[in-house]
Structure 1
Amino acid sequence: MTSEFQGNERRVAVLVDCDNTTPEILEYALRVVAQFGRVVIRRGYGNHSTLANKWQEALVRLAFTPCLQYQYASGKNTADIALALDAIEVLFDEMVDAFCVVTSDSDFAYLCRKLRERGAIVYIVGEEKTPDALRNATDQFFEFQPPEAAPAKDQSKSITKKQKPKMLRSAVALLITESPEGWVGLGALGNYLRRSDPGFTPKKFGHSGLLEMVKTYTDLSTKFEGGTHWVTLKEST
């Protein structure tokens, strides 16, 4: 898919599973997708009690279209089916290039896989409880932390010792084999890590950014050239 709207600006649909998450996640989701393109579709799906009570203020304020689905039988979530069908319809009508599905429900993993098979980019904004089956079905996963939980997490994880996962070194070793010069750009390295693990972020390992993270590895070298940071393996002596 290629965007015909405002040059090559990516068009994004934000589809929210209101029965599965809380209104506080909406503003975070919009901040996340703002870096990828222009949001042209905003829809929130849920039953009457969900949309009319805790979600009404947030949906109105942030200009989301409420998509009301009545429960025809106890235990049946018709809102999930409506969200999935609308996503497929939007895809085939070529209204967007990317989807941001706001949910932690692994039932949407199959939808994400089908959207990606058809060429769409898929992001998930979910909570810590989101299963790996859903995280790994997307191009990139973003974890929302409720405001009250953020300080505790910062003190226990972000301020503790910085981690050096082996996957980063392995990624550098793999990517430099494809480069005649034996170096990989920091941006290309970051893209590869996110494709390998949609939930990857340096902050998860206690680092402020990828460059700072790379510099903690004693067996990796960096240089700045041509306006880009480059990474390679140090030669063994």
Structure 2
Amino acid sequence: MNNESRVAVLVDCDNTNPGAVEFALLNVARFGRVVVRRGYGNHGTLTNKWRETLVSLAFTPCLQFQYAAGKNTADMALALDALEILFDQRADCFFLVTSDSDFVYLCRKLHERGASVYIVGEAKTPDALRNASDQFFEWLPTPLVTESSAQNATPRPKGEPPVVRRRPRFVSDAVALLASDSPEGKVHVSMLGQYLRRTRPEFTPAGFGYTGLLDMLKAYDLLSLKKEEGGHYTVRPANGQPPTGESVSK
């Protein structure tokens, strides 16, 4: 029987940056399987800057018209849907992507019913909302790549064959993230594989030139593999240093 937590990710699009959503999904994957993905906002929000994000990340857009100036009906819809999802037993873990303190009371009600509540917000998120969650994840905007820096990138010489074997950074980042949650500072390779499939459904070691995940991890200089009693493998950042990812030739 699968005891995996079922997670609902509810996004307050009127009060959140689209860049925070992918960051939220990377953290969600540590807690369970996402069964509900919804983004709430008014017409101007959902049809402009949020449209591409919701479509590409497979979120259901929940459009709420403003019936009076200055009245935000999207917050009410998000709160009601969260309680409905809980009462229908569709999810037992909630990730709210918002920086709005209006959701403090919703967090309390979800907790009273036994649900876990996590908040993903920006630096402006009030302490009241941070403290109302089981854990708060602060999203920091990533600096944009400027045109000048892009022009300074070293181009690949013409006629050079494509690199077959690669060490993508997101694999080493996942090891560092999961190992930081473990008292031993390491993660089971099987758990790492499950996390990678959740965060990147298209991921396969073969796509990067390897026969399997274990073979792939052996290519990382700053990752340390160990065969434990029972035959399973664990992996950790080597020497406590943050691992890096880079391309390697075959």
Match of residue 56 from structure 1:
51
Task: Find the aligned partners of 1:58 and 1:12 in 2 and give their Cα distance.
Answer: 19
The alignment of Structure 1 onto Structure 2 pairs a total of residues equal to: 149
- Asked if 1:94 corresponds to 2:89, the answer is yes
How many angstroms apart in 1 are the aligned matches of 2:131 and 2:16? 19
In structure 2, what is the Cα distance between the partners aligned to 1:110 and 1:85?
A: 12
Which consecutive aligned stretches of 4+ in structure 1 deviate over 3 angstroms post-superposition? Answer: none
> So what's the TM-score if we normalise by structure 1?
0.61
How is 1:64-143 mapped onto 2 (pairs within 5 angstroms)?
Answer: 64-143=59-138
Q: Of residues 29, 33, 40 in structure 2, which corresponds to 1:34? A: 29
Residues 153-180 of structure 1: CA deviation (Å, up to 9, x unaligned): xxxxxxxxxxxxxxxxxxxxxxxxxxxx
State the SS of the aligned residue for 2:15: coil
SS in 2 for 1:96: coil
Q: In the alignment, residue 6 of structure 2 is paired with which amino acid?
A: R
Structure 2 runs not aligned, ≥5 long: 145-181, 185-233, 235-250
- Residue type matched to 1:28 in 2? F
Partner of 1:172: none
Pick one of 38, 41, 48 that aligns with 1:43.
Answer: 38
Task: Work out the percentage of aligned pairs sharing the same amino acid.
Answer: 72
**CA drift at 1:187:** 4.0
Structure 1 alignment gaps of length 5 or more: 1-5, 150-185, 189-226, 228-237
Q: Secondary structure at the match of 2:89?
A: coil
Tell me the amino acid that sits aligned with residue 87 of structure 1: A
TM-score, normalising length from structure 2?
0.57
